[in-house]
Amino acid sequence: GENVEQHPSTLSVQEGDSAVIKCTYSDSASNYFPWYKQELGKRPQLIIDIRSNVGEKKDQRIAVTLNKTAKHFSLHITETQPEDSAVYFCAAYAGFGNEKLTFGTGTRLTIIP
């Protein structure tokens, strides 16, 4: 089955700097890669996703890149702000016939004012 690894497990950056979180996956059939943000005591919420037919996607200060050959994808947050502090999860989904949505172990991001 699918195995998703996520690094680092914790990350601290100065406000205004960039943060990068990396994930690798094992199932070459995976074709959908969402990123979720979870604030303390709340549910995970989607912040950005990418499908296998594109290599990069941006939404304001957030971007995701995908390298299907190497089976890894990354989340980039630029100009970080205190409200970006949260736990971030990557996930991979293999599609019809193997419809698990498998999550990485999470990255606790702390923005230092």
Beta pairing, strands 10-14 & 107-112 = parallel
Three-state DSSP class for residue 37: strand
Choice from 21, 27, 73, 104 touching other proteins (CB under 8 A): 104
Of 10-18, 19-27, 28-36, 64-72, which part binds other proteins (CB under 8 A)?
28-36
Three-state DSSP class for residue 83: helix
How far apart CA 76 and CA 94 sit, in angstroms, is 23
62 is a contact residue toward other proteins (CB under 8 A):
no
Binding site for other proteins (CB under 8 A): 1, 31-32, 34, 36, 42-46, 49, 51, 89, 93, 95-96, 99-106
